[in-house]
Amino acid sequence: GIQVEQSPPDLILQEGANSTLRCNFSDSVNNLQWFHQNPWGQLINLFYIPSGTKQNGRLSATTVATERYSLLYISSSQTTDSGVYFCAVKSTGTASKLTFGTGTRLQVTL
């Protein structure tokens, strides 16, 4: 099946700093979503972005499907950004199955 690797696995930032999270996938996809899992375990949808670039406030994402990677940018980070960030993809050949990446654990400190 498709492999989804995220980097870095862990990240510590001071409040106000910027960061870039990466998601690499091993096969062509027709669906890519970024999620934020807060400390209570809730998965929050950030972006649906199988290709192109999107922005939502301090967050933006870019997916280059032909090169099989996606990037999530966090600017002016805040302590509320702490948690785990997952990308998840659906391979073109596997219909509705959403496969999650390994995750990036982010801690934003004061």
Partner 1 sequence: SAVISQKPSRDICQRGTSLTIQCQVDSQVTMMFWYRQQPGQSLTLIATANQGSEATYESGFVIDKFPISRPNLTFSTLTVSNMSPEDSSIYLCSDGPLLLRGLGKNIQYFGAGTRLSVL
Smallest gap from residue 102 Cβ to partner 1 (A): 6
48 near 56, Cβ under 8 Å?
no
Which CB, 18 or 48, lies closer to partner 1? 48
**CA–CA dist 106, 51 (Å, integer):** 24
Which CB, 13 or 88, lies closer to partner 1? 88
Residue 98: count of CB within 10 angstroms of its CB: 12
Which residues are registered as beta bridge partners of 74?
19, 59
Smallest gap from residue 66 Cβ to partner 1 (A): 19
Q: In the complex, which residues of this chain contact partner 1 (CB under 8 A)?
A: 31, 33, 35, 40-43, 45, 48, 50, 86, 88, 96-103
Which CB, 82 or 102, lies closer to partner 1? 102
Smallest gap from residue 40 Cβ to partner 1 (A): 8
**Peptide bond before 8: cis, by omega within 30 degrees of 0?**
yes
